[in-house]
Amino acid sequence: MFIVFTFLNTEYMLDSKLHTNMRTFRAETFNFKTTLFQVKAESLFGVMDKTLHLLQMGFTEEEVSLAIDSFGQEAAVQELADSIFARRIASTIEQKQVKIESEFQGEQETEYSTYHQRLNYYDDDDDKLRAKRAKHIFRDDRGASSSHAVNQPSFTPWLSGCAGSAGDGYLKEEDYEMTSGPRANVHADLAKPPFFLYGNVVNITKAAWSELSDFLLSVQPEFINSQLFSALMRREGYLHNLPTERRNVVVPKSPMTIEDAVPSTRHYWPTWDTRKHIGNVTSEVAGIEQLCETLGKTIKDSRGFLSEEKRAQILHQCKMANLIWIGQDRLGPLQPNQMERILGYPPNHTSLFTLNPPDRIAAMKYAFQTDTIAYVLSVLKDIYPNGLRVLSIYSGVGGAEVALHRLGIPLKCVVSIEESDVNRKILKRWWAKTEQSGVLRQLPGIWKLKTDVLEDLFKEFGGFDLVVGGNYDSCRGGTTVNAAMGMDSKKYFEFVRVLNRVRSMHALFK
């Protein structure tokens, strides 16, 4: 009997303990689920609050959802609004699918004043005016974007009069005069740090440049023919707030003629080929070998008596494809190392194990000619003798960084934003080879440069002295104005957006 009672008592105690543990487990599980629900609810309400603000600003649910997916739920409302606004404008341009025909050459600009109104919020030069606009939009202590701007009716696509290219072997008569002298067009309030420079080597019209300028604080472009500094004859345009007095030419200079860049070609260069400069950086390789063979055969078959017409045809092909004389009556394309020399980059700058020669040329297609941009940037040497802090947006193969290094300006830090893995490797490799003493921080995309990240960079480096950017995308062709120009308008808008954020933070951290 005692044994049975003990067994039953033990069984009861075990059963009681089991029930107690189960109740504890259920309670803990309930508390965990409750806490998890509360966290999710708080996160959900935060997203809903941001969504409501953005919807009240006039953005669509689809735009808001896409922005939150791209930038994350933690992104500030202003950051989300800016990204939507930039995407909206760029999409408006691209969705028009405007074909580049002769009709665009005579098309008049329309809705320019309305267009200008839409861009007002980018100009945060007047903090009082910006704050006045902001308080009517949404409650966010991190800033605001103008809802009035995004609710304007659709407008004629900017750059609608453009039929741009990266050069066609010569400069047209309509090309603008090269600007020089003091920048009277830059307001005194803008001609101060942080300095900025946006460069574009794509051949676009005056009207297009005017509209680009309107986005960037109405700073007028400066045009420089790279022929003045190199064997490349190309107009490069710059929107910047840099001084122009006391500029200097970088030394040693890059080759000034094709013959200087490729000395071996002088032995085979015919007297009737009067070219001294190349007119573009072409990456087309399809059919080049056959073209060279055909042209060589034409020359040999003429037995030294080429007609003026055939000479003109051969010269035209040479200009378009960047062909040089590599032997007696033999033509061949410029090689990557030769193109690097002409553009002012160090030997084997684009030489990566994974890149073939055409890919190396393609990487340089829209790169800066470093002597030319160095001339514009040379004023920084006296302003920052101890070094420069650079934010490089869409760095490409590092043209601006190479130019600053050639000028002898120490690079304290370079925060480089570049989507191309190849370009990032090229810049990182150059940084290591030149034994830079500063810090190189590389980001794979503009979406990584969120407001909090930018604030952390300001705290780490104390701000930026120069914000530099350009259009480095390869032109893949297509039917839209942007594709034919080789320009990525979204990237330009993002450059302006980030620049204005830097300028605002500069005033706060000053």
Express each pLDDT in 346-370 by its tens digit: 999 999 988 999 999 999 999 999 9
Residue 141 CB contacts under 8 Å (≥ 6 apart), including other chains? none
Give the pLDDT confidence of 429-448 residue by residue, as tens digits.
999 999 999 999 999 988 88
282 and 404 in contact (C-beta within 8 Å)? no
Mean pLDDT of the chain: 75
Write the CA distances from 320 to 78, 81, 129, 363, 428, integer angstroms: 46, 44, 50, 18, 32
Give 275's pLDDT tier (boundaries 50, 70, 90).
Answer: very high
Q: Which of 80-94, 143-157, 232-246, 262-276 has the lowest mean pLDDT?
A: 143-157
The answer, yes or no, to whether residue 250 has pLDDT greater than 50, is yes
Long-range Cβ contact pairs of 22-28 (< 8 A, separation 24 or more): none
Q: Is 22 exposed, middle or buried (0-12, 13-18, 19+ CB in 10 A)?
A: exposed
Give 72's pLDDT tier (boundaries 50, 70, 90).
Answer: confident
The answer, yes or no, to whether residue 25 has pLDDT greater than 90, is no
The answer, yes or no, to whether residue 416 has pLDDT greater than 80, is yes
Give 338's pLDDT tier (boundaries 50, 70, 90).
Answer: very high
Ordered alpha helix ranges (H), 386-469: 399-406, 421-433, 451-461
Instruction: For the chain, give every domain's residue range.
Output: 1-104, 187-258+345-510, 263-333
> Residue 404 is which amino acid?
L
Which pLDDT score, from 0 to 100, does residue 472 have?
61
The answer, yes or no, to whether residue 105 has pLDDT greater than 70, is no
112 and 160 in contact (C-beta within 8 Å)? no
Write the DSSP assignment of 157-224 as a string of letters.
Answer: PTTTT---BS--SS--TTSPPPP-S--TTS-TTTSSSSEEEEEE-SB--HHHHHHHHHHTTTPPPEEE
333, two tokens:
């394309």
Write the CA distances from 44 to 34, 63, 138, 163, integer angstroms: 15, 18, 19, 47
Which pLDDT score, from 0 to 100, does residue 128 have?
37
The answer, yes or no, to whether residue 154 has pLDDT greater than 90, is no
Which pLDDT score, from 0 to 100, does residue 374 have?
97
Which pLDDT score, from 0 to 100, does residue 507 have?
84
If you ran DSSP here, which 8-state letter would residue 156 be given? P
Q: Which CATH number fits domain 187-258+345-510: 4.10.60, 3.40.50, 1.10.10, 1.10.132?
A: 3.40.50
Range 235-247 average pLDDT = 94
Q: Which of 125-129, 143-147, 402-406 has the lowest mean pLDDT?
A: 143-147
Range 455-467 average pLDDT = 95
Ordered alpha helix ranges (H), 331-449: 336-343, 357-363, 370-377, 380-383, 399-406, 421-433
Choose between 298 and 185: higher pLDDT. Answer: 298
Q: Is 393 exposed, middle or buried (0-12, 13-18, 19+ CB in 10 A)?
A: buried
Q: Looking at the whole model, is its pTM more than 0.75?
A: no
Residue 6 CB contacts under 8 Å (≥ 6 apart), including other chains? none
451, two tokens:
């407001």
Which pLDDT score, from 0 to 100, does residue 91 have?
56
Which pLDDT score, from 0 to 100, does residue 498 have?
93
The answer, yes or no, to whether residue 266 has pLDDT greater than 80, is yes
243 prior amide bond cis, ω within 30: no
The answer, yes or no, to whether residue 468 has pLDDT greater than 50, is yes
Write the CA distances from 493 to 36, 122, 212, 358, integer angstroms: 39, 10, 9, 30
